[in-house]
């Protein structure tokens, strides 16, 4: 039988074979109670599943199913089987007297995993209110039993979803005052911080919850994404690695972790993780594209170019053929104008044949980026809309060294305008503000522009660590950044040599 760090246990609805309709709710009740009791396990992640198909879709490694039936005499018996899905073999079978169904669930949980915790409720007869999931029933349940942690959480979430923010926060704080168990307290603090739009609080609560639920990959991923968007890529990598331990069959985790490692400056780990992603999806273009991004980030531009071409060869329609555009950028920045022109021409021809309405604007962008500025501006003159107008104004300002194309409230564009006009001291605080944006890609771009401003101000030591890298090309590139910032980043990098 396979040995795994963490078993992913799908719990199917339990059947009620007692003939007593009042026990029908236990079909959903048992899976919810058991999953909660195993929430802190280091060796298994349990989750309710509607069917075996649902279990497989969620990469379950084991399946728990069972039923409640009458025993000889007047009693009831809880019968459950735990099966390994890879070997299609039974792991364990349980038969537990169920005169008290709540005690039977507790016994089953501890028999499967001795680390199981008690389900946090003092009055088990209130559990149907949790399954009913109606606000009045939940409110009544927590009023009758303040220790009913799951009902507190469900009620706060429902109030928040309904837009009743003040009521949700008041209810959440009352719940915390009732001394929730550690797991539910962390979950509640996560909900509160989301309601209060408190990003540092959300991150702290998410990481606490990930530590308390070490086998739940989804929670680790949520914490990792918060770390990523608040600039702590090293912590994000560690959290993604925890998620991989719990859900190694989730290919996307390896891709996300690879990007986090790239942003953290660890080329070998990034390449290794995305290499694992590629091994899991050998027919997909995306792993090759991701590897191209990693090599681009670390200045391995010719290797990035080839990986983008390999991605395009694998699937010419992947991302609308954008891998060719990325290959053109990589070749252009590597100084291979001929290869860059070839890749860009192929991409633009593909987009024009596909009837892409943005193809003329794309062609103008490439003309400008590759030095044919007059042709680019002439092409823009024939295009209508706010984006062509913005680009035309920005490019004219770039060519002439004068003019304005952005208002101060258009922070990213205005910061770029300040750089073009060499107003580096004014640009610095604005770029620091943008860099603090809780979005990895926006923050990263601002970081490169800030490094350029610092370099121009003579602060080479502050600029150099950032300019050791390249910004990863976006799947939907910002034309201002692409045509105006990338060439300057190349200049700044050359100035550091």
Q: Please list the residues that pair with 69 across neighbouring strands.
A: 17, 77
Mean pLDDT confidence for 178-201: 95
Q: Please list the residues that pair with 66 across neighbouring strands.
A: 80
Question: Residue 199, Cα to own-chain centre: how many angstroms?
Answer: 15
Alpha helices (H) along 41-177: 52-57, 101-112, 127-132, 135-144, 149-161, 165-177
Residue 166 has pLDDT above 70, yes or no: yes
Query: What is the rounded distance in angstroms from the CA atom of residue 167 to the CA atom of residue 136?
Result: 13
Quote the tokens at residue 27: 């079909």
Residues 106 and 172 occupy one common structural domain: no
Last residue of a domain, one of 158, 186, 215: 215
Dihedral sign computed on CA atoms, order 211, 212, 213, 219: negative
pLDDT at 475: 82
Residue owning tokens 């107003």: 423
Residue 148 gets the label, from left (phi > 0), alpha (psi -120 to 50) or beta, of: beta
> Is the residue at 206 inside a domain?
yes
> Is the residue at 442 inside a domain?
yes
> Is the residue at 378 inside a domain?
no
Residues 90 and 140 occupy one common structural domain: no
CATH code of the domain containing 104: 3.40.50.10070
- Among candidates 227, 198, 299, which has minimal Cα distance to 443? 227
Residues 114 and 144 occupy one common structural domain: no
Alpha helices (H) along 370-423: 373-381, 386-400, 411-420
Query: Which pLDDT band holds residue 73 (cuts at 50, 70, 90)?
Result: low
> Is the residue at 377 inside a domain?
no
Residues 113 and 165 occupy one common structural domain: no
How much of the chain exceeds pLDDT 70, in percent? Answer: 99
> Is the residue at 198 inside a domain?
yes
Query: What is the rounded distance in angstroms from the CA atom of residue 134 to the CA atom of residue 150?
Result: 13
> Is the residue at 167 inside a domain?
yes
Question: What's the burial of 186, exposed, middle or buried (CB within 10 Å: 0-12/13-18/19+)?
Answer: buried
Last residue of a domain, one of 187, 215, 243: 215
Query: What is the extent of the structural domain holding 27?
Result: 7-119
Q: What is the CA radius of gyration of the chain?
A: 28
Last residue of a domain, one of 92, 119, 146: 119
Q: Which of the residue ranges 71-75, 80-84, 176-180 has the most confident prediction, judged by mean pLDDT?
A: 80-84
pLDDT digits (tens, 9 = 90+) for 336-380: 999 999 999 999 999 999 999 999 999 999 999 999 999 999 999
* Strand pairing report for 76-84 and 89-97: antiparallel
pLDDT at 176: 94
Residues 112 and 182 occupy one common structural domain: no
DSSP SS3 for 213: coil
Residue 74 has pLDDT above 70, yes or no: no
Query: What is the rounded distance in angstroms from the CA atom of residue 350 to the CA atom of residue 230?
Result: 38
Query: Which pLDDT band holds residue 70 (cuts at 50, 70, 90)?
Result: confident
Mean pLDDT confidence for 251-261: 97
Query: What is the rounded distance in angstroms from the CA atom of residue 181 to the CA atom of residue 191?
Result: 15
Residues 197 and 160 occupy one common structural domain: yes
> Is the residue at 101 inside a domain?
yes
Mean pLDDT confidence for 209-215: 97
Query: What is the rounded distance in angstroms from the CA atom of residue 35 to the CA atom of residue 397?
Result: 61
Residue 458 gets the label, from left (phi > 0), alpha (psi -120 to 50) or beta, of: left
- Among candidates 218, 274, 270, 259, which has minimal Cα distance to 242? 218
- Among candidates 441, 380, 376, 379, which has minimal Cα distance to 412? 441
DSSP letter, residue 67: E
Alpha helices (H) along 162-300: 165-177, 182-195, 199-212, 217-229, 233-246, 251-263, 267-280, 286-297
Question: What's the burial of 487, exposed, middle or buried (CB within 10 Å: 0-12/13-18/19+)?
Answer: middle
Residues 113 and 197 occupy one common structural domain: no
Q: What is the tally of structural domains in the chain? A: 3
Residue 1, number of CB atoms within 10 A of its CB: 8
pLDDT at 435: 96
> Is the residue at 223 inside a domain?
no
Residue 46, number of CB atoms within 10 A of its CB: 27
Query: What is the rounded distance in angstroms from the CA atom of residue 69 to the CA atom of residue 14?
Result: 11
Q: Please list the residues that pair with 80 across neighbouring strands.
A: 66, 94
Mean pLDDT confidence for 201-221: 97
CATH code of the domain containing 439: 1.25.40
Residue 237 · residue 264 · CB < 8 Å = yes
Mean pLDDT confidence for 225-251: 95
Residue 126 has pLDDT above 80, yes or no: yes
pLDDT digits (tens, 9 = 90+) for 13-31: 999 998 888 888 888 899 9
Residues 480 and 420 occupy one common structural domain: yes
Query: What is the rounded distance in angstroms from the CA atom of residue 43 to the CA atom of residue 4?
Result: 9
Residue 94 backbone dihedrals phi, psi, to 5 degrees:
-130, 140
Query: Which pLDDT band holds residue 238 (cuts at 50, 70, 90)?
Result: very high
Dihedral sign computed on CA atoms, order 383, 386, 392, 395: negative
């Amino acid at each position: 039988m396979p040995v795994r760090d963490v078993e992913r246990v799908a719990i199917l609805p339990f059947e009620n074979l007692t003939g007593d309709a009042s026990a029908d709710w236990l079909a959903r009740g048992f899976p919810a109670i058991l999953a909660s009791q195993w929430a802190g396990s280091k060796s298994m992640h349990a989750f309710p599943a509607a069917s075996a198909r649902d279990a497989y879709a969620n990469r379950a490694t084991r399946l728990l199913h069972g039923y409640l039936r009458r025993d000889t005499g007047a009693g009831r018996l809880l019968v459950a089987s735990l099966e390994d899905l890879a070997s299609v073999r039974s792991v364990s079978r349980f038969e537990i007297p169920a005169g008290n169904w709540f005690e039977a669930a507790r016994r089953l949980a501890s028999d499967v995993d001795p680390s199981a915790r008690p389900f946090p409720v003092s009055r088990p007869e209130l559990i149907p209110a949790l399954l009913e999931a109606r606000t009045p029933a939940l409110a009544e349940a927590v009023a009758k039993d303040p220790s009913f942690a799951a009902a507190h959480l469900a009620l706060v979430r429902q109030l928040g979803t309904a837009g009743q923010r003040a009521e949700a926060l008041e209810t959440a704080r009352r719940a915390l005052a009732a001394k929730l168990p550690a797991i539910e307290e962390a979950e509640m603090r996560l909900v509160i911080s989301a309601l209060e739009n408190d990003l540092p609080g959300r991150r702290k609560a998410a990481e606490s919850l990930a530590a308390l639920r070490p086998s739940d990959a989804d929670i680790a991923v949520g914490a990792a994404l918060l770390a990523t968007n608040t600039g702590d890529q090293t912590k994000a990598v560690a959290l993604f690695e925890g998620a991989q331990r719990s859900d190694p069959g989730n290919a996307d985790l390896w891709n996300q972790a690879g990007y986090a490692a790239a942003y953290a400056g660890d080329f070998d780990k990034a390449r290794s993780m995305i290499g694992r992603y590629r091994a899991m999806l050998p027919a997909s273009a995306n792993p090759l594209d991701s590897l191209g991004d990693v090599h681009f980030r670390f200045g391995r531009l010719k290797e990035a170019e080839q990986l983008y071409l390999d991605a395009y060869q694998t699937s010419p329609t992947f991302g609308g053929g954008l891998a060719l555009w990325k290959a053109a950028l990589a070749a252009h920045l590597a100084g291979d104008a001929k290869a860059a022109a070839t890749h860009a021409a192929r991409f633009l021809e593909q987009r024009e044949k596909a009837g892409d309405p943005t193809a003329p604007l794309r062609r103008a962008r490439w003309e400008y980026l590759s030095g044919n500025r007059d042709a680019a501006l002439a092409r823009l003159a024939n295009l209508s809309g706010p984006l062509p107008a913005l680009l035309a104004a920005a490019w004219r300002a770039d060519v002439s060294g004068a003019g304005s194309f952005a208002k101060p409230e258009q922070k990213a564009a205005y910061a770029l305008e300040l750089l073009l006009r060499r107003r580096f001291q004014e640009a610095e605080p604005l770029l620091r503000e943008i860099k603090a944006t809780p979005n990895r890609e926006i923050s990263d771009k601002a970081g490169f522009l800030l490094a350029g401003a610092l370099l121009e101000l003579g602060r080479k030591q502050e600029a150099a660590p950032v300019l050791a890298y390249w910004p990863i090309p976006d799947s939907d590139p910002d034309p201002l950044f692409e045509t105006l910032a990338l060439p300057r980043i190349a200049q700044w990098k050359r100035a550091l040599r």
